[in-house]
Amino acid sequence: MEEVWGTVSKAVQKTLKIRLLPVSKGDKALTHCLSKDYTTLLREALDIVVRSDVRSRRRAHELCYKRLREKYPHLYNTYVEEAYKRSLNVQKLQKASRKVDEAQIRKTTEPRSEQSG
């Protein structure tokens, strides 16, 4: 079994190797600008999804896509799509977290039944 994992590990190592090229100042500026725009895009998509209590991808697309594409025409459409999909996932995780927290609160605040023997 260890031989198999060793082979898989070698294959994975080979596929993950990339060569980094020197980055110019202009490239750094473009990368910084893209990162900043994408972060803002994510925040706006999350705001739309949370305020509208969106629960489906279709609804998230209807509310976010046109508005965000008009605001960020210089970004590829995949960035916009990824932003509202991620926002939807964040909202789902927040709701799940709240449910777990509420369950824990209920557990700790419920009176313990005393067993008489």
Q: What is the pLDDT of residues 11-68, one digit of tens each?
A: 445 555 566 677 788 888 888 898 999 999 999 999 999 999 898 999 999 999 999 9
Identity at 72, one-letter amino acid code: Y
CB burial class (10 A; 0-12, 13-18, 19+) of residue 40?
A: middle
Domain ranges of the chain: 25-102
Give the model's confidence band at 112: pLDDT under 50 very low, under 70 low, under 90 confident, else very high: low
DSSP, res 108? H
Query: Rounded to two decimals, what is the model's pTM?
Result: 0.64
Q: How many helices (H) and strands (E) does the chain have?
A: 4, 0
Distance between CA atoms of 23 and 26, rounded to whole angstroms? 8
Distance between CA atoms of 116 and 75, rounded to whole angstroms? 69
Give the model's confidence band at 102: pLDDT under 50 very low, under 70 low, under 90 confident, else very high: confident
